[in-house]
Amino acid sequence: MEFNEKLQQLRKQKNLTQEELAEQLFVSRTAISKWESGRGYPSIESLKAVSGFFDVSVDDLLSGEELVSLAETDKKEKMGNTCDLVFGILDVMSALMFIIPFFGQAENGMIRMVSLLRLTEMPDYMKTTYTVIVVLVAAFGIAELALQNVRHRIWIKGKRSVSLSLGIFGTMGFIASRQPYAASYFLCMLVLKGILTRRQR
């Protein structure tokens, strides 16, 4: 008997609806429906909750094959969460450009390195462009960190693409405006994201 059938049987033995079981396990009714229809498995934590609630061992709930599959899925999910956390931290770190001297500006015939806040010898539209790039990336990083537990399909699939796109846009912008240190900083963050993305696949 598969896990979905066992769960359904255990629930019915206790005369519980899917909604009532969901309340007991602190998950959504959709999650119970998904598990019972065989469209997915609970996380390790949810599986422990199911095991404890019905007073059966995890081995009784899952076959060896299902257990291996669940362990692999859980490992991938944890790796994904770690990657998302690192992406968010890297994006937030772009705000360091406001205080660390990454930008070169001409002063008395010399190039002096200054932070974004001290960048004065430059047209306003350029400084505004730099500020918008840095603020966009940092704000998106904050969103990534704040919404770590959001499981909406569009957010899960799109957040890394947006983060990478903003990184590319920033890098290209700084290269085009001849700010090599700022471009290198963004490029380093982009390379780290690329390595993490590749390792997860």
Residue 134 clears pLDDT 70, i.e. is over it: yes
Q: Which residue has the tokens 């997915």?
A: 40
Write down the pLDDT at residue 137. 96
pLDDT number for residue 82: 87
Angstrom distance (rounded) from CA 169 to CA 165: 6
Per-residue pLDDT at 94: 95
pLDDT of 43 > 90? The answer is no
CA dist 68 and 20 (Å) reads: 29
Q: Does the pLDDT at position 40 exceed 90? A: no
Summarize pLDDT for 159-192 with one digit per residue, the tens.
999 999 999 999 999 999 999 999 999 999 999 9
pLDDT score of 62 more than 90: no
Q: Which long-range contacts (CB under 8 A, 24 or more apart) does 151-160 make?
A: 159/84, 159/87, 160/83, 160/84, 160/87, 160/193, 160/197
Give the pLDDT of residue 76: 78
Q: Which domains does the chain have, with CATH numbers?
A: 3-62 (1.10.260.40), 76-200 (no CATH)
Residue 201 has pLDDT above 70, yes or no: no
Amino acid at 199: R
**pLDDT for residue 88:** 95
Beta strands in the chain (DSSP E): 103-107, 110-114
Residues 82-117 have pLDDT tens digits of: 888 999 999 999 999 999 999 988 888 888 899 999
Segment 121-132, tens digit of pLDDT: 888 999 999 999
pLDDT at 120 over 70: yes
CA distance 3 to 23: 20
Burial (CB < 10 A; 0-12, 13-18, 19+), residue 52, is exposed
- Residue 97: its pLDDT value, please? 95
